[in-house]
Amino acid sequence: MKPFAFLTRKRNVSLDCLHTLMESAIDGIITMDCKGRIIAFNPAAEKIFGYSCDEVIGHTVAEKLIPRSLRKAHEKGLDHFLATGKKVIIGQRVEVTAKRADQSLFTAELEVIADNSKTTPLFFAYLRDISGQKHAARESQQRTIEIKKALMQTILAISRIVEIRDPYTADHQRRVAHLAATIAESLKFSEERIDGVFLGALIHDIGKIAVPTEILARPGILLDEDIRYLQIHCQKGYEILEPVNFPWPLAEIALQHHEHVDGSGYPQGLRKGEILLESRIVGVADVVESLTAHRPYRPAYSLEEALELISKRAGKWYDRQVVTICKELFKSGYSIDTIDMDELTWRSSLE
């Protein structure tokens, strides 16, 4: 037996294993030298890129597999690693854009490892085509957005039912929704939570469909009895919305938007901490919008008068912080008169 035959045999077994692994791997495996030249290209890589092994061996990765716009960055990264040994991408799993033989581009997941040799380093790139997954994820996201849009449009349609029955408050809920969502934005709410404020405001008076039209449409000052009847709209709104499993507290907003922080509101006489912040925001937006709108039984308040009124009651009826934010908004140029009704689906979470 030749000396070292055992080791030689052992090494051959390892090389055979390595070859089998590369040949049968699901991922594309590309071996490159320090110049970025391809020295091995497994069958999975052939399938992914549409090149035969012979068509790429000896060519650089940049020339064959990387889009022209990304070549400079690739070459710079390779030079940087060879000069400094610092691994920026090497060893990391990253998403890249790669180019097929037919010049089409696709998204791939890539991990490059370098061998330990300092004299003749080799690079092994493991690559997987994830363009199908990406496409499916985009489609799923688009479907989610469409469903959310349809939900918002449905809520808008419901809000119009109230406006049809209540001619004096046409557009009221939509204007309140815009102001309330703008206050929520200023309070740095998350996009999701702003959506909740917007939609809650959009249907905060839905319970008015339970109030007789002759009361809603009666000109002149309302009788005490009418007012008592009108006040049931909070509870009725809650009863309408509560069975629906919205991802936002829309039923609570409808129920609580006439509560006061000192407990003097209705229907439950809740105090500050017991009232959702969303409801306190809608409550302030509701009163500002109502006061500045004309009613048959009273002229419209000026904006200054309306803001003065909510200031006087800040901390008593209305949340002090919400009042401050509301006043700052108008002071910095926000105008409730310039609302574009086409903006109703303007919420950025739908873009």
Q: How far is the CB of 204 from Fe ion (least distance, A)?
A: 6
Q: How far is the CB of 205 from Fe ion (least distance, A)?
A: 5
Rg of the chain taking only CA atoms, in angstroms: 33
- The first and second tokens of residue 175, run together, are 């204007």
299: DSSP letter: P
295: DSSP letter: B
Nearer to Fe ion, 28 or 265 (CB): 265
Nearer to Fe ion, 203 or 314 (CB): 203
- The first and second tokens of residue 252, run together, are 């609570």
Give the integer Cα–Cα distance in Å for 141 and 349.
12
- The first and second tokens of residue 306, run together, are 């309306």
Q: Give how far the C-alpha of residue 285 lies from the chain's centroid of Cα atoms, to the nearest Å.
A: 25
Q: How far is the CB of 140 from Fe ion (least distance, A)?
A: 38
Strands in 43-92 per DSSP E: none
Nearer to Fe ion, 195 or 205 (CB): 205
3-class DSSP state for residue 89? coil
Nearer to Fe ion, 64 or 178 (CB): 178
Give the integer Cα–Cα distance in Å for 259 and 238.
14
Nearer to Fe ion, 30 or 275 (CB): 275
How does strand 105-114 pair with strand 38-41? unpaired
Nearer to Fe ion, 43 or 267 (CB): 267
Q: How far is the CB of 201 from Fe ion (least distance, A)?
A: 10
Beta bridge partners of 127: 28, 110
Q: How far is the CB of 207 from Fe ion (least distance, A)?
A: 8
Which parts of this chain interact with Fe ion (CB under 5 A)?
205
CB-based contacts of 335, cutoff 8 Å, min separation 6: none
Nearer to Fe ion, 205 or 259 (CB): 205
Nearer to Fe ion, 205 or 289 (CB): 205
Nearer to Fe ion, 42 or 159 (CB): 159
Q: How far is the CB of 293 from Fe ion (least distance, A)?
A: 13
Q: How far is the CB of 336 from Fe ion (least distance, A)?
A: 17
313: DSSP letter: T
3-class DSSP state for residue 262? strand
CA torsion through residues 205, 209, 210, 215, sign? positive
Q: How far is the CB of 169 from Fe ion (least distance, A)?
A: 9
Q: How far is the CB of 281 from Fe ion (least distance, A)?
A: 14
3-state per-residue secondary structure call for 113-124: EECCCCCCCCEE
- 25 vs 11, 15, 18, 30, 134, CA distance in Å? 21, 15, 10, 11, 22
Which residue of this chain has its Cβ atom nearest to Fe ion in the complex?
Answer: 205
Gap between the terminal Cα atoms of the chain: 74
